[in-house]
Amino acid sequence: MKIGELARAANCSTETIRYYEKAGLLPPAMRTPSNYRHYSHSHLARLRLIRNCRSLDMTHDEIRSLLNSLDSAADDCEPVNRLLDEHITHVDARINELLHLRRQLIDLRERCAEGRPVEHCGIIEGLNAMEVPPGPTHGSHLG
């Protein structure tokens, strides 16, 4: 199948497919004599696995490790189990961070009564009084 067909079958864009190829997560496609990429059903299965892992917020390194276990046809699932256990630990840590963030936002929101001039806004005052935290240690979008 061509790249557009693969993209439709995997519910993603052709750019995503090219990105996963460049990242080494998806093996390169065979080329037709006219130099079109030609993908097999094994590409589709692997792409679906990658996309499902990403939907579970797994990093590329985690996915790569999972794929390495799959490609090496390991004797048992222990490496996969360990990887998922570690990912669950990361998710638990992120949940705790988000709960802390929620508490901070609620505290800020409670500082402001309706109808105050913005220069006396309790939220702005609270934000100005907060200590700037160190950079995130997780793979957050915050910087």
Asked whether residue 18 is assigned to any structural domain, the reply reads: yes
* CB distance 65 to 53 below 8 Å: no
pLDDT > 90? residue 112: no
Residues 27 and 7 in one domain: yes
What average pLDDT does range 69-83 have in this prediction? 87
pLDDT at 136: 62
Task: Record the pTM.
Answer: 0.76
Domain encompassing residue 103: 78-129
pLDDT at 115: 76
* CB distance 9 to 1 below 8 Å: yes
pLDDT at 138: 54
Residues 54 and 91 in one domain: no
Handedness of CA 114, 119, 122, 123 (dihedral sign): positive
pLDDT at 89: 97
Looking at 71, 94, 120, the residue that finishes a domain is 71
Q: Output DSSP code: residue 33.
A: T
Residues 66 and 47 in one domain: yes
pLDDT above 90 covers what percent of the chain? 66
Residues 64 and 23 in one domain: yes
Q: How far is CA 30 from the centre of its chain?
A: 28
Residues 10 and 50 in one domain: yes
* CB distance 68 to 53 below 8 Å: no
pLDDT > 70? residue 139: no
Scan for tokens 């990403």, then name that residue.
54
